[in-house]
Structure formats: structure tokens, C-alpha cells
Amino acid sequence: MFQLHGAGSAPSFDRPVQLPVTAPLTERLDAVLRVMPGISAVALDPAIEALARPLDLGPDLPVRRARLDSGRQLSVVSVPSRVWAQPNSRLRLFRLKAGAKAIGRPVLLAPEMAVSREPLLSNALLIARCATLQVPPADHFALLSALVESGGELPMADAVVLMTRAEDPVAAILASAARRVVAIEIDHPLGPGTRVLSRPARLRP
């Protein structure tokens, strides 16, 4: 696992990380979509937001449009638990899905509990926290070359050794995942054995 050493600092392998999961639902959704396998880009979705507005589902209904690796597009609506718990609200959500389908826009309803499941959420928030860190291009090249030679995956402990120019090699790997240069196994706690994975070449920046 990782330990964050104060605000603005980078993670390293020592004690388990403890992240207070107090982020707004929109931030949680963005972080999770950033690291989900099979998603190459995420954007706002004004069309689905417009369909949802008259259904009175509340102001905090995050909507995003995800482009999948296959090229297909999917609208993702994250539903707050208080909305999902109300039968009338769920009916309105299904009306939203039907209205979106009528205009050729498939919608995935993602309940808050699904977006917030662990360790996915803590991993996603940690990766998002590293998104603005600069990674030397030579380190990216070394990492991608090693992934090709290894058949598309490396354990984190081997990947960080390649980041010889980065100030913090672990943070550099997470920043690379945040930018979709590589993917990271996110369904288990992050640690030395976490798999770092290749992404399709056409999806790399």
C-alpha cells in the first residue's frame, strides 16, 4: 500500500494509505471513470443532463459521457443513495434511460454505493491526486518499452525501478495511469505486486 506524507506530497511504499472518502459524488465518479479499464476519454454530457433536468432528480446527479476503447460512447449517471432508495425516483431514472435510448444514447446508471466501493474508490482518488505530476518523457518511454517486452504487464515493484528520472517513481506510475499512458490493476489494494498494464497504442497521448 501507499502512505501519503501530507498535502501535496507523493505516495511511497511503506504504511497503508488512509484517505478520508469525503469527496463529492461528482469527484468520485470522475476519479473512478479515469481509471476504469476500457474507457479512453470522459467528458461532460449536456444532452443527458437536459433530459434529466425536468425529471426532478435533484441538483447533485453527476452525468458523464465516456468513450470506450471500442469507439462506442456511453453516458454514465451516478445516482446518490438517497435518490436510489426512493421507488418514485428510480422510476424517473428508468424514464431517463428510455428517453436517452430514444435518441440513440445508451445510459448506465451507477448507484453511489457502486462508485464508492473499496478499494476501487481509494485507488482512484489516489491516482487522481497524482494526475498533475509531471513525468519525464524518457521514463514513459522506458516503461512502455518494458511493458512491450514483458507481454503487456509488470508488477509495480518492477515498474517503479524504470522511473529513474522522476522525483517519486511511485507517483510517476500513478500519474501515468491518470493520463491513460498505462493502466493499473485497481480492484485490489495498491502495493508492490499491483499489475501495471499496457493500453492499446492508439489510446496513448
The 10s digit of each residue's pLDDT in 100-136 is 999 999 999 999 999 999 999 999 999 999 999 999 9
Report which of 191, 160, 173 is spatially closest to residue 130, judged by C-alpha positions.
173
Rounded CA-CA distance 21/122 in Å is: 7
What is the value of pTM for the model shown?
0.83
Tell me the domain boundaries of the chain. 25-117, 121-203
Cell of 146: 518494458
Cell of 170: 511511485
Q: What is the pLDDT of residues 147-186, one digit of tens each?
A: 999 999 999 999 999 999 999 999 999 999 999 999 999 9
**Domain 25-117, CATH:** 3.30.70
Report which of 69, 72, 105, 112 is spatially closest to residue 89, judged by C-alpha positions.
112
